[in-house]
Amino acid sequence: MLRPKGMKKVFVIAPNSFQARLINKLYSLKVLHIIEHSKSEKLDIGNPLQNAEALSDAVVKTRSIRSQLNSREFMLAVPDEGKKKKNKGKSAHDRHPGIGDDSGPSMQFASLESVISQINEIYESATKTIVSYRDIDQEIKKLNSLLLKAHTLKRLGISISNISHYETIAHFIGHADKQPDLVSEVRKLTSKSYIKSATSGQKAITAIFIDASQRSEILSLLEKYRFQGIDFSDLIAFTGGKEFDEKRISAQLKALTERKSGFEKKMVLARQKYGDYLGSAEKYLAREIEKAEAPLKFGMTDETSIISGWVPNDKVDDVVAEIKKLTGDKVYIEMRDAGHHDDIPIELKNPKFAQPFEILMHLFSLPKFTEIDPTFFLFLTFPLFFGFMLGDFGYGLTTLVLFMILKKFMPKFSGFFNILIFSSLATIGFGLVFGEFFGAEEVMGFHIPHLLSRGHQIMDLLAWAIIIGVIHINIGLIIGFANEWMHHGFLKAVEEKFSW
């Protein structure tokens, strides 16, 4: 309880023919911390397993599909009418869990090959649908842009032929600052001009027709008034210089919009159908990639794989037995005790009730394998100090209920909320000691009994605070003294800690 789990260094030398099976077995045991081998002249590193490339491709496709299905354009798409009532009041993310995060249920898969095959099928289908959807979307945007430009010309009373068939006449259509001043200066510059104005939204649109020989002078004038021209070349190319058939384009837009809506619904259904599957498949494939790339951490010869790592002392016998069973004893295994200067992975060993407080150790620094693990002392002191400072039955009860609710709705942070629940219980306990309920010592005329009054026994409270503080500091010094003694000897421990 007061020390991390003991570790042994394991060396496994096995024929390369067992490599893939050995990797699967070690990963299933979940007890080996692999030490990465560095390439040297005498010993090379291994190569990824044969399926590594296919796995990487499948993961990329899975993430691509999830990203596409989770894109804003499809998240905002409206499901079919049959789903609307059922999903009323829920956000798009709530309606389709598992696609935006990994909150969906974890699934069991028949085989790796079946997952890769299924991902490829989904990817091909989804990509085809998305490409078609975006092609239609671009066509809709193009037609809407043409329609808007045609309306602009209509407001100005100008036909498409007026801007497409004349080489001796230059035209400029767009928006300008101080439009009346621009018109006035154009008329001063040349008498051979034709100017029309109209309003588009909140902006004034101006069309200027002049002799083509005066183009350069007009361009300087337009620049002065920050003229922003509208390019009608796409409209001219689309119509061939003929009149714009607005009815035909509107009908075409309606048909395209209906097709786009159909693709949106198809993607919504795909998100509903494959959301959880893709989330689980991505996690599964990521684990398989880790396995496939494990040989990169091994030493390798032409015939053998050399694996080194750390195994908890209590799991050594199980690991050895499983490896020998798998290889038919065609393997060499060597165990070594941890050296004083070895960089050993730390696995804390604490009673279940103290395990939530291991989070605090991970936030700061984990003890070395030869040092005392202070987690149990944190379990004792953290709630104690929290309760001592807050010390109110009402506040403690409120925070207890709040943290229990948050723990239910945020299970990923259950360990952190367990710490706060312990602290709330300590707050309730000290609330009984101090006889306080939401800061009051009386409730509806009833005087709450107490052992220590924070309002009238301040000196006693300070005395207890000092005593607890001294004990807490000395616990830390004693732990530090023990750690220094183990690492650097008794005299160094006396110099570093006992002197305090």
| Domain ranges within the chain, ordered by starting residue | 7-49+293-337, 160-242, 352-456
Per-residue pLDDT tens digits for 214-243? 888 888 888 888 888 888 888 878 887 677
Helix (H, G, I), strand (E, B) or coil at 238: helix
pLDDT at res. 1: 65
For residue 206, list its beta bridge partners.
174, 197
pLDDT tier for residue 155 given thresholds of 50, 70 and 90 = confident
Kindly state the average pLDDT of the residues 15-24. Answer: 90
Query: Is the distance from CB of 236 to CB of 164 less than 8 angstroms?
Result: yes
Which contiguous run of DSSP H or E holds residue 307?
A: strand 304-312
Taking only the tens place, the pLDDT of each residue in 284-297 is 999 999 999 999 99
Confidence band, pLDDT 50/70/90 cuts, at residue 175: confident
Using 50, 70 and 90 to split pLDDT, how confident is the model at 78?
Answer: very low
Residue 329 has phi, psi (to 5 degrees) of 70, 15
pLDDT at 98 over 70: no
Percent of the chain with pLDDT over 70: 88
Report yes or no: 183 and 204 within 8 Å, Cβ to Cβ. no
Please state, rounded to an integer, the average pLDDT across all residues of the chain: 82
pLDDT of residue 232: 84
Residue-level pLDDT at 445: 65
Q: Please determine, for residue 496, whether its predicted confidence score (pLDDT) is greater than 80.
A: no
Helical spans, DSSP H, in 111-229: 112-156, 179-189, 215-224
Distance of CA 373 to the CA centre of its chain: 32
pLDDT at res. 93? 38
pLDDT of residue 135: 92
> Quick one: CA torsion of 453, 455, 457, 461, rounded to 10 degrees?
80
What are the pLDDT digits (tens) for 133-150?
889 999 999 999 888 888
Look at residue 77 and tell me whether its pLDDT is greater than 60.
no
Beta strands 44-45; 299-300: pairing state = antiparallel
Say whether pLDDT at 58 is over 90: yes
Residue 492 has pLDDT above 80, yes or no: no
Q: What is the band of 97 on the pLDDT scale with cuts at 50, 70, 90?
A: very low
- Per the CB < 8 A criterion, the answer to whether 34 and 294 are in contact is yes
Tell me, yes or no, if the two domains 7-49+293-337 and 160-242 fold the same way.
Answer: yes
Report the b/e string of 162-172 with b at 16+ CB within 10 A. Answer: bbbeeeeebbb
Q: Is 3.30.1240.10 the CATH classification of the domain at 7-49+293-337?
A: no
Cα(123)–Cα(129) distance, integer angstroms = 10
Residues 6+ apart with CB under 8 A from 6: 312, 313, 338, 369
Distance CA 135, CA 143 (A): 12
Distance, in Å, from the CA atom of 449 to the CA atom of 443, rounded to the nearest integer, reads 11
Q: 274 vs 456, which has greater pLDDT?
A: 274
Given a cut of 60, is residue 100 above it in pLDDT?
A: no
List pLDDT tens digits, range 336-386.
888 777 788 888 888 888 888 888 888 888 888 777 888 888 898 899 999
Which range among 2-11, 335-344, 389-398 shows the weakest confidence by mean pLDDT? 335-344
Q: Residue 480 above 50 pLDDT?
A: yes
Do residues 136 and 256 touch, judged by C-beta distance below 8 A?
yes
Instruction: Let me know if 366 is exposed, middle or buried by CB neighbors in 10 A (0-12, 13-18, 19+).
Output: middle
Q: How high is the pLDDT of residue 92?
A: 37
Q: Quick one: pLDDT at residue 75?
A: 55
**E strand or H helix at 273, and its extent?**
helix 246-292
Kind plus residue range of the DSSP H or E element containing 56: helix 52-69
Residue in the block written with tokens 């999830």 = 66
The burial of 263, by beta-carbon neighbours within 10 Å (0-12 exposed, 13-18 middle, 19 or more buried), is given as: buried
C-alpha distances out from residue 199 to 96, 155, 231, 350, Å:
45, 8, 17, 77
- Measured distance CA(197)–CA(208) in Å, rounded: 9
User: What's the whole-number mean pLDDT along residues 26-48?
Assistant: 86
Closest CA to 267 of 137, 85, 416: 137
CATH code of the domain made up of 160-242? 3.30.70.2750
Task: Tell me how far apart the alpha carbons of residues 464 and 453 are, in angstroms, rounded to a whole number.
Answer: 12
CB 238 within 8 A of CB 248: no
pLDDT over 90 at 255, yes or no? yes
Asked whether 231 and 238 are in contact (CB, 8 A), the reply is: no
- Phi and psi at residue 347, to the nearest 5°: -125, 115
* Tokens 């969906």 belong to residue: 104
In this structure, are residues 102 and 279 in contact, taking their beta carbons and an 8 Å threshold?
yes
HSE-up (13 A, CA, CB side) for residue 62: 27
**pLDDT of residue 95 exceeding 70:** no
Q: Among 30-39, 63-72, 121-130, 386-395, which stretch is predicted with the lowest mean pLDDT?
A: 63-72
Average pLDDT estimate for 394-406: 93
Between 11-15, 197-201, 202-206, 207-211, the lowest mean confidence (pLDDT) is in: 197-201
| 3-state secondary structure at position 96 | coil
pLDDT band at 91 (very low <50, low <70, confident <90, very high): very low
